[in-house]
Amino acid sequence: EAGVAQSPRYKIIEKRQSVAFWCNPISGHATLYWYQQILGQGPKLLIQFQNNGVVDDSQLPKDRFSAERLKGVDSTLKIQPAKLEDSAVYLCASSLTSRTNYEQYFGPGTRLTVT
Amino acid sequence: KNEVEQSPQNLTAQEGEFITINCSYSVGISALHWLQQHPGGGIVSLFMLSSGKKKHGRLIATINIQEKHSSLHITASHPRDSAVYICAVALNNAGNMLTFGGGTRLMVKP
């Protein structure tokens, strides 16, 4: 079974530029998560999708971050414009459902550096 | 105060030593996860538990629901165990949405 795929793996941009990350979850997984992990910290949930609907985006900085999962499969996370403090690893995870005790499977992450 | 606290933040051990990493949480949970993150790599789930104890190879995870505390033990540690170990909890009524601790960075020296 293929795992969660993410691209790119690394991205370096200047502040005020835009960037987009892509995630393809495990086939059949209805729930998709985007996390931000700043160096030395645990991941922080940005947004959770159930199929193509948003379940929780309370910690997404909506003035600059946006995410979509139009067809309920793959997803894109965008930052526009980027700030220095956005430098982090962006992790995508998926699970079969959002019910308790269903495991999340993580992708390799995209390491973003904003200069 | 974070809802999930881990200790220690950093840990250095000699190969063969018995290692314990602790996780305390302050809220009601439905499950607790232990995860492993290698440098430059993604996150791998080690355990998901809601009571008692689980064992997989040299890894043992325990949880005490009344004390809101969990431990991850590594027996006969090896340099390949060097990684960041993350505790995460699924809060009651939040499905499998996870709240993460800050992680414990483990280095095992040969």
pLDDT per residue as tens digits for the range A19-30: 999 999 999 999
Interface touch A91/B102, C-beta < 8 Å: no
Nearest to A61 by CA among A42, A75, A44, A74: A44
The pLDDT value recorded for residue B1 is: 62
The pLDDT value recorded for residue A100 is: 77
Quote the longest CA-to-CA distance of chain B.
44
Average pLDDT, rounded, for chain A? 94
Nearest to A99 by CA among A27, A29, A24: A29
Please report where in the chains the tokens 């690394």 appear, as a residue. A10
> Nearest Cβ partner of A99 from B96, B99, B103?
B96
CA dihedral for A24, A90, B37, B80, sign (positive or negative): positive
Tokens of A100: 């308790």
Interface touch A100/B90, C-beta < 8 Å: yes
Q: How far is B40 from chain A (nearest CA, A)?
A: 8
DSSP β-bridge partners for residue B36: B44, B85
Tokens of B21: 């990493």
Interface touch B95/A56, C-beta < 8 Å: no
The pLDDT value recorded for residue A2 is: 81
Radius of gyration of chain A (CA): 13
Residue of B nearest to A107 (CA): B42
The pLDDT value recorded for residue B96 is: 81
Per DSSP bridges, beta strands A105-106 and A88-95 are antiparallel
Interfacial B residues in 71-110 facing A (CB < 8 Å): 86, 88, 90, 95-103
The pLDDT value recorded for residue A1 is: 64
The pLDDT value recorded for residue A108 is: 93
Q: Is B25 helix (H, G, I), strand (E, B) or coil?
A: strand
Tokens of B59: 């890894």
The pLDDT value recorded for residue A9 is: 95
Q: Is B7 on the interface with A (CB under 8 A)?
A: no
Q: How far is A66 from chain B (nearest CA, A)?
A: 19
The pLDDT value recorded for residue A102 is: 84
For residue B103, the chain A residues in CB contact (below 8 A) are 40-42
Low-confidence ranges of chain A (pLDDT < 70): 1
What gap in Å lies between CA B60 and CA A26, rounded to an integer? 28
The pLDDT value recorded for residue B62 is: 98
Low-confidence ranges of chain B (pLDDT < 70): 1, 41
Interface touch B102/A41, C-beta < 8 Å: yes
The pLDDT value recorded for residue B70 is: 98
What gap in Å lies between CA A8 and CA A11, rounded to an integer? 7
Reading phi first (left if > 0) and then psi (alpha if -120 to 50, else beta), residue A79 is in: beta
Please report where in the chains the tokens 């200047």 appear, as a residue. A14
CA dihedral for A84, A87, A93, A97, sign (positive or negative): negative
DSSP β-bridge partners for residue A101: none
